[in-house]
Chains A and B, each alone.
Chain A
C-alpha cells in the first residue's frame, strides 16, 4: 500500500514538472499560428 501511495505521488510530481516544462516550451495555437498584425 505504501508503494502505491508513493507511486501516485511520484506520478503527480513528474506530471507537474512535465506540465510546467511543456507550457514553457509550447505556445497556444492562437499564438503559434497567427500574425502580429490584423488585416481588416
Chain B
C-alpha cells in the first residue's frame, strides 16, 4: 500500500512538472519580441537602405514642428555643399566673369556710336506705361539682386568689412526688402510678358542679325524690327528666368506649404542658380542700355529716340512706324546719352 502511494505521488509530481513546463513554453517563445520591440527600426542595414534611396531617418517629437524629428537626411549635406561652395563658384564666375567681359569689351570696342549723328527728329520708342512697367521691374530687380547676393556672398565678403552688428541689421532689412519687393517684381514680369510678347517672337531677321554680329562688331548695322535678336534674348531671359525665380522664391517664402524638405532644397538650388545667371545677363543689358550704345538710354529714359538711331539699329521698325503714319518730332535732343 505504501509502495502504491509512493508511485501515485511520483506520477502526480511528474504530471505537475509537465504542466509547469507546458505553461512556461509560450512565455519563452515570446521572449525575443518583449526584450526588443523596436528591433526592426534599429537594424543598421535597414537604416542604410533607407538613406541610400534618398530618404531620411525620422523619429517622433512632441513639438508642433514634426520636421524636427528628422534625424538624418543625407540630401541636406549635398544641399549645404551646394550653397556654401558650389553656388559661390557659379555666382562668382558668372557675375564677375560678365563684369570682366564687359570691361574688356568696352576697352576694345568702345561705345557703339551713332555714326550718322543726331537728326534732331525724335520718334516715340516706348510709351509711358511701358517705361513705368520697365522701371518698376528694374528697380525691384536691383534691390532683389543686391539682397540676394548678400545671402550668398555677404557672410564671407561683407561681414568682415562692416562687422557683425551692422551686417545683422543690413541683412534683416535686405531680407524683408527681398520678400516684399518680389511682389511688384513678379507683377512686372507678368506684365512685361504680356505687353511685349508680340514683338519678341524669334524670326529669320534675328538669325541674320546674329550672323552680322548684332551691330556690335565693326560698323555694320543689321536691320531689325522693334526688338532685335539681343533684346529678344533679354526678354526671354526676363520672362523665363523671372518666372523661375518668382515661382521658386514663393516656395521658399511659404516654406513647407506645398513641398517637403527635399522640395525646399531643390527650390533653393534652382532659385539661386537662375538668380546669379539672371544678374549676369542683366549686367549686359544695363551696359548696352547705358554706356555701351550712344542714344540707347533715351528709349527708356524719355521714351523717344533720334530718327537716325532708329534707322541704324531698328531700320525695319522705323519703316513700320512710318507706314503706320507715326510722326517724328523736330525737337532737338537736349543731352545726348554717353
Contact = CB atoms under 8 A, between A and B. Distances in A.
B187 interface: yes
A4 B182 CA distance: 18
Given A19-B176, A33-B63, A35-B64, A11 B181 contact: yes
B132 A3 contact: yes
Interface string A1-30: 111101110110011111100100010000
Nearest to A21: B183
Contacts, number: 65
Contacts of B179: 18-19, 22
Contacts of B139: 4, 7-8, 11
A35 B180 contact: no
Nearest to A8: B139
B44 interface: no
B152 to A, nearest CB: 22
Contacts of A40: none
A32 B131 contact: no
Q: What does DSSP make chain A's interface, helix, strand, loop or mixed? A: helix
B128 interface: yes
Contact of B131 (A4, A18, A26, A33): A4
B180 A10 contact: no
Interface in B114-172: 128, 131-136, 138-140
Contacts of A26: 254
A35 B63 contact: yes
A11 B131 contact: no
B301 interface: yes
B180 to A, nearest CB: 4
Contact of B183 (A1, A2, A7, A14): A14
Contacts of B65: 32-33
Interface of B: 62-65, 68, 128, 131-136, 138-140, 176-177, 179-185, 187, 253-254, 301-303
17 contacts: A3-B128, A3-B132, A3-B303, A4-B131, A7-B131, A7-B132, A7-B133, A7-B139, A10-B136, A11-B136, A14-B184, A18-B180, A18-B182, A19-B179, A19-B180, A22-B253, A33-B68
